[in-house]
Chain A
């Protein structure tokens, strides 16, 4: 089950990474039809690695929209080199995906 989509493109010495993760991102503040609170379930950390080095890491609350979108840029990166995205949520679940830069 792939929960991550990544598009990484290198241009003029800068790599732009766009990523989509599928996750409900429940804040823990919403109620269901019977008025019961829906427990918080959201991504807490996203880590981006390029050639094994962390280039960006994020800490998220439930206030990031569900099925989160994230884009960032870093200097360097050439076509064929690898970018890896990893996420972990507040239940300790997670996923990770590595793709080649275009």
Chain B
């Protein structure tokens, strides 16, 4: 009886330790990555967000970026935004709603296989310029689109 109990205890403890190890191993890199991006997402300033997310805040307007967003968004909680570009060697894309309390909505890291195309839906607190910044060959290029929001979508 005792023998079985001891064995059971040993096995359970071993399993516990193993799970803890796996858990720690999986969680650390995720936390590190989240912490890194948290800085870019937690700022109220577009320049600071761009520096944290893409390494610089100086960007050149480019006709090679197509930013599709509605002229008027009736509901700021769902604003469809599509970014595409013919620029070469695109590493990353950032989508910014400039008047949001926290302007950086999202960033995308592309690969050598990617076609430069991202489509999603963002929330906008009020009418503002949507800014798409594309990092191509290490430089930043941008496109903007004014979106008029009828009902803000960030709640308050």
Interface residues of A (CB under 8 A from B): 14, 27, 29-31, 44-45, 50, 53-66, 68-76, 88, 90, 92
Contact = CB atoms under 8 A, between A and B. Distances in A.
Given A27-B154, A44-B37, A63-B154, A71 B117 contact: yes
Interface string B34-53: 10010011000000000001
A54 B27 contact: no
Nearest to B49: A61
B156 A29 contact: yes
Given A53-B111, A63-B122, 10 more contacts: A59-B40, A59-B41, A60-B105, A61-B105, A64-B106, A64-B122, A68-B121, A72-B115, A74-B114, A92-B30
A50 B107 CA distance: 20
Contacts, number: 115
Interface of B: 27, 30, 33-34, 37, 40-41, 53, 77-80, 82, 97, 100-102, 104-111, 113-115, 117-124, 153-156
Contact of B106 (A50, A53, A55, A60): A60
Contacts of B115: 14, 72-75
A101 to B, nearest CB: 13
Contacts of A75: 113-115
Contacts of B110: 55-56
